């Protein structure tokens, strides 16, 4: 199989057009079509519904798209790592993290880490919880940054994937100030995460606490992006459970207000212990010292 076939297929899956995908890939449409057919022959499966317009993916095509995206991402990331090392940029620490933590906790933590061990390049993949687990266990990543609550089952073996508690946060129910009084009596419109999402599970635990507002589902975000949910709340579409670190500035500025008791959460760093590299050991030792310092300051 030719690697460029994967990139061809992903371009077609994105554009739903043979002519547009061929143009983006810089080949003639006939050559592009032959490469897509060669990929299907190699896989032994039809990836496209060619009778529909625009082009759609078959069930096999939808499944293979996920595989192709991950394979292309991993290959490009590893190539970038090798090239940086060849240029004298040194080794790279790879980390996968929940989306919201990459914009709140991670930047400051990386600053403290580099202060402890010196300059180090980093490669970060923001993802949802399930994809983070897959990336850590199968995708060649060293570390996983996540929230944790004792009532949520964690599918990692402690011996193979040890963890450190490196921070604290909380899940807060927030809404735009000035919501109508009848929201309290009749129920506040709830901005809900998609089914099975990690923050959605935490939000369900928080919503079951005493003092949580009466709610009804008004909007479901299929992508389960906390940042998108925050924007909906700021616009006054309802109440949503969000990490406090993500909304602290909005609360301080009066764009949002907390309407229920908060749910405490740990911020944990997990390590793939099977990836025994000198750099990951140094990072882990530094993370332990930072965690100890954090615990003592609490």
Distance separating alpha carbons of residues 292 and 273, to the nearest angstrom: 20
What is the number of domains present in the chain? 3
Classify residue 230: in a domain, yes or no: yes
Could you tell me if 147 and 290 lie in one domain? yes
Buried b (16+ CB within 10 A) or exposed e, 174-207: bbbeebeeebeeeebbbbbbeeebbbbbbbebbb
pLDDT single digits (tens) 15-51: 888 888 888 888 888 888 999 999 999 999 999 988 8
**DSSP annotation of 274:** T
Mean pLDDT of the chain: 87
Classify residue 27: in a domain, yes or no: yes
The band of 257, judged by pLDDT with boundaries at 50, 70 and 90, is very high
Could you tell me if 63 and 196 lie in one domain? no
Q: Are 175 and 274 in contact (CB under 8 A)?
A: no
The band of 122, judged by pLDDT with boundaries at 50, 70 and 90, is confident
Kindly compute the dihedral angle of the four CA atoms of residues 160, 164, 169, 173, in this order, to the nearest 10 degrees: 20
Query: What pLDDT does 260 receive?
Result: 93
Could you tell me if 115 and 47 lie in one domain? no
Query: What pLDDT does 145 receive?
Result: 97
pLDDT single digits (tens) 154-191: 888 989 999 999 999 999 999 999 877 666 677 899 99
Could you tell me if 182 and 158 lie in one domain? no
Structure-block tokens of residue 131: 């994809």
Q: What is the CATH number of the domain that holds 260?
A: 3.40.190.10
Strand duo 92-98 + 143-148: pairing: parallel
Summarize the confidence of residues 132-136 as an average pLDDT. 89
Classify residue 84: in a domain, yes or no: no
Interior angle at CA 290, CA 285 and CA 296, nearest 5: 130
Q: What is the CATH number of the domain that holds 38?
A: 1.10.10.10
Classify residue 60: in a domain, yes or no: yes
Distance separating alpha carbons of residues 190 and 213, to the nearest angstrom: 10
> Which of 45-59, 81-95, 171-185, 200-214 bottoms out in mean pLDDT, i.e. has the lowest?
81-95
Q: Is the pLDDT of residue 234 over 90?
A: yes
Query: What pLDDT does 163 receive?
Result: 95
Query: What pLDDT does 89 receive?
Result: 56
Could you tell me if 132 and 273 lie in one domain? yes
Q: Is the pLDDT of residue 97 over 90?
A: yes
User: In Å, what is the CA distance from 181 to each residue of 8, 169, 213?
Assistant: 55, 30, 13
Residues spanned by the domain of 187: 169-264
Classify residue 85: in a domain, yes or no: no
Q: Is the pLDDT of residue 244 over 60?
A: yes
Query: What pLDDT does 208 receive?
Result: 94
Could you tell me if 22 and 158 lie in one domain? no
What residue has token string 């317009």?
Answer: 53
Could you tell me if 276 and 141 lie in one domain? yes
Distance separating alpha carbons of residues 246 and 105, to the nearest angstrom: 9
The band of 209, judged by pLDDT with boundaries at 50, 70 and 90, is very high
The band of 103, judged by pLDDT with boundaries at 50, 70 and 90, is very high
Q: Is the pLDDT of residue 240 over 80?
A: yes
Distance separating alpha carbons of residues 108 and 245, to the nearest angstrom: 12
Q: Is the pLDDT of residue 219 over 80?
A: yes
Q: Are 169 and 206 in contact (CB under 8 A)?
A: no
Query: What pLDDT does 224 receive?
Result: 66
Query: What pLDDT does 298 receive?
Result: 59
Summarize the confidence of residues 137-148 as an average pLDDT. 89
Classify residue 181: in a domain, yes or no: yes
User: In Å, what is the CA distance from 197 to each residue of 73, 93, 127, 223, 224?
Assistant: 23, 27, 11, 9, 7
Q: How many residues belong to the chain?
A: 298
Could you tell me if 254 and 109 lie in one domain? no
CA atoms within 13 A on the CB side of 289: 11
């Amino acid at each position: 199989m030719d690697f460029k076939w994967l990139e061809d297929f992903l371009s077609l899956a994105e554009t739903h057009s043979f002519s547009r995908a061929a143009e983006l890939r810089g080949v003639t449409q006939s050559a592009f079509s032959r490469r897509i057919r060669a990929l299907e022959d190699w896989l032994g499966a039809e990836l496209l519904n060619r009778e529909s317009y625009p082009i759609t993916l078959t069930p096999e095509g939808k499944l293979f798209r996920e595989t192709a995206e991950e394979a292309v991402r991993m290959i490009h990331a590893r190539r970038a790592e090798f090239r940086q090392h060849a240029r004298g940029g040194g080794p790279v620490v790879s980390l996968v993290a929940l989306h919201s933590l990459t914009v709140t906790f991670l930047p400051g933590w990386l600053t403290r880490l580099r202060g402890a061990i010196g300059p180090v390049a980093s490669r970060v993949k923001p993802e949802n919880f399930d994809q983070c687990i897959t990336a850590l266990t199968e995708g060649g990543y060293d570390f996983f940054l996540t929230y944790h609550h004792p009532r949520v089952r964690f599918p990692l073996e402690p011996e193979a994937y040890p963890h450190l508690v490196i921070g604290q946060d909380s899940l807060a129910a927030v809404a735009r100030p000035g919501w109508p009084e009848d929201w309290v009596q009749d129920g506040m419109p709830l901005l809900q995460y998609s089914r099975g999402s990690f923050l959605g599970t935490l939000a369900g635990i928080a919503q079951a606490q005493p003092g949580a507002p009466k709610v009804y589902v008004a909007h479901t975000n299929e992508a389960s992006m906390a940042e998108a949910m925050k924007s909906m709340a700021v616009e006054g579409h309802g109440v949503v459970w969000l990490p406090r670190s993500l909304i602290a500035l909005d609360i301080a500025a009066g764009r949002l207000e907390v309407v229920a008791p908060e749910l405490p959460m740990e911020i944990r760093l997990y390590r793939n212990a099977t990836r025994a590299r000198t750099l990951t050991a140094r990072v882990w030792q530094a993370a332990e010292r930072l965690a100890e310092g954090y615990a003592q300051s609490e």
